[in-house]
Each structure stands twice: as C-alpha cells, then as structure tokens.
C-alpha cells in the first residue's frame, strides 16, 4: 500500500500526557504498556505509525507495538496475545479485502469483543466507508492520507479509553458472576444439609466463609430432640 507521510506535526512532543509519570528507577515498577497491533503490508506504514506515536501515554501507560504484514500473521498474533487493546488495520494487503476478513475473524472466530479495530486504507475510492462501518464490527475508518499525526493520536487515545472502559466492565461482570456462583453453591449446600437433618441424617461439608475467604469444614448431627442439631467444625 502507499504509505503517505503523516505530516502536519513535525514534532510529537505535544503528545506527552500532562500526567505521565516520570521515568521509574526500577523498570519492573512501570505499568504494563497498552499493546497496539499494526497490520499493514507496507513497512513504511509501520515505521511512520510507530514514530508518530512514540511519545504517546494514556493513564500513565506507554504504548507497545506488535507488527503483522498479512491477515494470517495478524490472526496468529491475536491468538497468542489476547491482551491487545487496539488494531490499526490496513484494508488491502494480500487481497483487496484482507483487512475486512481479519476484522470478521477477530469478532466471530476469536470472539474478541474488547479489542478496538481502526481500519486504514490507502485507496479512498475502493469502497464506501459508510457501508463498511455498518457491515463490520469496527470502531473507526480512515484514509491514510487524512490521518495526520494529531488525528492518529486522537483516534488511538479514544480507542484505548474505550478498551479500558470495556475491560473494566467485563471485570466487574466476572466478579459479580463469581459472587453469584458462590452464593448459589452455598445455597445448595445449605439445602442439602437441611434435607439431611430433616431426614435424621448427619451432614458434613466444606464452606468458604468471609473475605478473604477461609475454608471451613463443618459437621452437623441431629439430636434426639425434634428439630435440634449440633454443629462442629474446624478452619482448614
């Protein structure tokens, strides 16, 4: 593809986030970078894109770039690196719709709903942008000649913000589901214990109690008096 220079801002110093933390003395203490996958069959596009975003920082995290030069290579990287936040994806590579096929596989085969996908093309007349945005689960579409450094930066930061929001929502949903599963498990254990005691049988089992959870082994034994039972146990 034709890599048109991103030329409206010769200096990228303006991209440094005001609240970006100073360089850490201990590299291990630095937060994990945002992973950005550049997919394009033109090496120059990779070089220009990485240079344009070299000083970018969002939420105190820098950007880390991965590179793919074909649709198949992009899918392989996405399979092995599930925490990629953003794909800058060329439309035309080995075929005229290679990028569109990648976008479809990401959503329908890899079932990755979090990663943000920004399509880029050097062929502005090759397809209707409106139609592509409607038909494919992508988040933005740009002609390379229009994507200046400032616009690229804005697009990337907006995409990362969207990814971070979705990631937080997914984590909250997972935590709620885990709590619900735990409550249901406790309810089932309580029901089993009650049924056993009603039938005059003993019951024993393990429960996770408290936060952080502690495993407790319990044993319930019915007494000779109707409706009464004794419970003993120990913390594991």
- The predicted-structure confidence for 138-178, as pLDDT tens digits, reads as follows 999 999 888 899 999 999 999 999 999 999 988 887 777 77
Domain of residue 134, residue span: 13-173
Choose one of 173, 189, 213: the last residue of a domain. 173
Q: How confident is the model at residue 228 (pLDDT cuts 50, 70, 90)?
A: confident
Q: Do 30 and 133 fall within a single domain? A: yes
Q: Do 63 and 128 fall within a single domain? A: yes
| The pLDDT value given to residue 4 | 46
| The pLDDT value given to residue 44 | 96
CA gap 44, 127 in Å, rounded: 23
| The pLDDT value given to residue 125 | 61
Q: Do 142 and 81 fall within a single domain? A: yes
Among candidates 193, 197, 234, which has minimal Cα distance to 217? 234
Instruction: Provide the phi-psi class of 105: left if phi over 0, else alpha when psi is between -120 and 50, else beta.
Output: alpha
- The predicted-structure confidence for 108-127, as pLDDT tens digits, reads as follows 999 999 999 999 998 766 55
Q: Do 116 and 19 fall within a single domain? A: yes
Q: Do 91 and 186 fall within a single domain? A: no
- The predicted-structure confidence for 172-220, as pLDDT tens digits, reads as follows 877 777 777 777 776 777 777 677 767 777 878 777 777 777 787 878 8
Q: Do 34 and 107 fall within a single domain? A: yes
Number of domains in the chain: 2
- Whether residue 11 is predicted with pLDDT greater than 70 in this model: the reply is no
Q: Do 154 and 137 fall within a single domain? A: yes
Q: Do 127 and 77 fall within a single domain? A: yes
Q: Do 26 and 139 fall within a single domain? A: yes
């Amino acid at each position: 593809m034709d890599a048109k220079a991103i030329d409206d801002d010769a200096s990228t110093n303006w991209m440094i986030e005001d609240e970006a933390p100073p360089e850490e003395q201990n590299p291990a203490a630095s937060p994990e970078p945002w992973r950005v996958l550049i997919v394009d069959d033109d090496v120059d596009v990779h070089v220009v894109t990485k240079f344009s975003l070299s000083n970018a920082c969002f939420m105190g995290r820098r950007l880390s770039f991965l590179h793919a030069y074909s649709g198949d290579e992009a899918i392989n990287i996405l399979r092995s690196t599930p925490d990629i936040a953003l794909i800058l994806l060329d439309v035309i590579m080995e075929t005229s719709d290679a990028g569109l096929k990648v976008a479809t596989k990401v959503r329908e085969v890899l079932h990755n709903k979090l990663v943000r996908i920004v399509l880029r093309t050097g062929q502005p007349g090759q397809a209707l942008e409106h139609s592509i945005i409607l038909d494919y689960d992508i988040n933005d579409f740009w002609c390379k000649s229009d994507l200046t450094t400032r616009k690229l930066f804005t697009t990337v930061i907006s995409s990362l913000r969207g990814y971070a929001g979705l990631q937080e929502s997914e984590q909250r949903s997972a935590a709620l589901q885990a709590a619900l599963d735990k409550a249901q498990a406790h309810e089932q254990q309580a029901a089993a214990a009650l049924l056993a005691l009603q039938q005059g049988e003993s019951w024993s089992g393990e429960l996770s109690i408290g936060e952080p959870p502690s495993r407790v082994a319990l044993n319930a034994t019915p007494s000779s008096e109707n409706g009464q039972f004794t419970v003993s146990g120990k913390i594991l």
